[in-house]
Amino acid sequence: MNIKATLSNPKARAGLKAAFLALALLLAFLAGREFHELRHYEETVVSAPGLTERKMLSDYLASLEGTWMDSPVFVYDSGVPGGSVFVMGNVHPYEPATSLAAYIIMENIKVSKGKVFVLPQGNRSASTTGMLANAYPKFFSVPTSFGAKKYRLGDRGTNPLDQWPDPFTYVNYPSRQNLAYQDIRNMNRTYPGRPDGTLTERAAYAVMELIRREKIDLAIDMHEASLMYPVVGTYVAHDRSFDLAMMAAMTLTAGSFDMKCESSPKGLRGLSHREWGDYSDTLAVLMETPEPFIDRVVGPMTEQLFTEGKDEFLDVAARHGLTYVPYSYETGAPLWYRCGRHLSGALEAVAQMGAFFPEKEVLVEWPGYEELKEHDCGYFLHDPGKADPKLVFKQ
Ligand SMILES: [Zn+2]
């Protein structure tokens, strides 16, 4: 084909334009179908029988109702007076060992004193989109005896479909600290939030209201971090909760796995471990577990990298002392390891709260690190097809 001749012929030019338009529409359709699939896929969880109430974030801020930020909160009240604990996952849904850990808690929890609130999807909107341009899988699967269970692999920030555009600089309320523009959609930079702010600020405000109205004694925010980021494999604790987190870290390190403890910086605003403690009476603790999938140096971002955490480039980085926790290709950082750390990390923090503040004691059981090491995650999930329909939830 003579390109010059084709381009000088108006009819041929129109045909070429139409062909390119058709190709663009086809690609938009194929991509749109993928976006739609992730946006609308619902995860299933089978709650343990101890569930006493299911609330929504919109119960704490009505304007969230009908938005993609509204998210269910599951309440397990023993009926025996004691303290109260709040556990939250997936504030950053590209760290979804945290929502899986929350689901494992919900599927197995037994509370015999006090009450426990679980919010598995802290930023539900962010869990409905992938990290744009990062070319990573939409879902990950957990093998179980009743087949593979599929979960969403989301983004760090609120879906731009729900909150857009971003400003040039994001100014945290009420500290007026200037932060990176995209952090306006990062829920863990928007605390304490405000009832008339952006969607993300409103969700953050609803979580604050939950903590205040339910008089939460211990609030735990679960995250995953890249291994080349200093705050990994650690608790980050507010001033009032620092002693209990340090004791928990020492107890865990003497037992199953290494856990560090850091103090929440006073000058870094908008984060849960700072604002939850400053704007309520709760003892605020954030936990970070190592997630190779989000490290900058890793190879292809596959589902296997997410679930097994094995990467040769990160292995080289670790051998050069560039990671903040020990790492090797052989062991990787599999899902059971990351969920197990969170499950035992939360249990130990709850136990230490009871030791430091006996009047706030909560007695609770769910599987921990050693049990996940032995059985893996899927063992602790229940078949929705055989469960009491009243305990099966989709979200
Ligand atoms: Zn995070």
Task: Specify the CATH number for the domain of residue 246.
Answer: 3.40.630.10
Bridge partner residues of 56 (DSSP): 72
User: Ligand 1 (ion): which residues have CB within 5 A?
Assistant: 92, 95, 223
Q: How far is the CA of 90 from the centre of ligand 1 (A)?
A: 8
Please state, as a whole number, how many other Cβ atoms lie within 10 Å of the Cβ of residue 155. Answer: 24
Q: How far is the CA of 223 from the centre of ligand 1 (A)?
A: 4
Residue 8 within a domain: no
**What's the alpha-carbon Rg for the chain, to the nearest Å?**
22
pLDDT tens over the chain, length 395 residues: 577 877 788 898 999 999 999 999 999 999 999 999 999 999 999 999 999 999 999 999 999 999 999 999 999 999 999 999 999 999 999 999 999 999 999 999 999 999 999 999 999 999 999 988 888 899 999 999 999 999 999 999 999 999 999 999 999 999 999 999 999 999 999 999 999 999 999 999 999 999 999 999 999 999 999 999 999 999 999 999 999 999 999 999 999 999 999 999 999 999 999 999 999 999 999 999 999 999 999 999 999 999 999 999 999 999 999 999 999 999 999 999 999 999 999 999 999 999 999 999 999 999 999 999 999 999 999 999 999 999 999 99
- The reported pLDDT for the residue numbered 2 is 75
- The reported pLDDT for the residue numbered 133 is 81
**187 φ, ψ (degrees, to nearest 5):** -60, -30
- The reported pLDDT for the residue numbered 282 is 98
Residue 138 within a domain: yes
Residue 95 within a domain: yes
- The reported pLDDT for the residue numbered 135 is 84
- The reported pLDDT for the residue numbered 1 is 59
Q: How far is the CA of 271 from the centre of ligand 1 (A)?
A: 10
The secondary structure of 121-174 as a DSSP string is: -TTTGGGGS--TTS---SEEEEEETTEEEEEE---SS--TTTS----SSEE-TT
pTM, two decimals, is: 0.96
CB 202 within 8 A of CB 209: no
Number of structural domains in the chain: 1
Q: How far is the CA of 89 from the centre of ligand 1 (A)?
A: 9
Bridge-based pairing state of the strands 260-263 and 234-237: parallel
Q: How far is the CA of 221 from the centre of ligand 1 (A)?
A: 9
Residue 224, helix vs strand vs coil: strand
Residue 25 within a domain: no
Of 223, 229, 216, the residue nearest 325 (C-alpha): 229
Domain of 67 in residue numbering reads as: 41-394
Residue 10 within a domain: no
Residue 311 within a domain: yes
Dihedral sign for Cα atoms in the order 127, 131, 135, 136: negative
Q: How far is the CA of 92 from the centre of ligand 1 (A)?
A: 5
Residue 2 within a domain: no
Q: How far is the CA of 43 from the centre of ligand 1 (A)?
A: 20
Q: How far is the CA of 220 from the centre of ligand 1 (A)?
A: 13
CB 73 within 8 A of CB 55: yes
Q: How far is the CA of 224 from the centre of ligand 1 (A)?
A: 5
Residue 31 within a domain: no
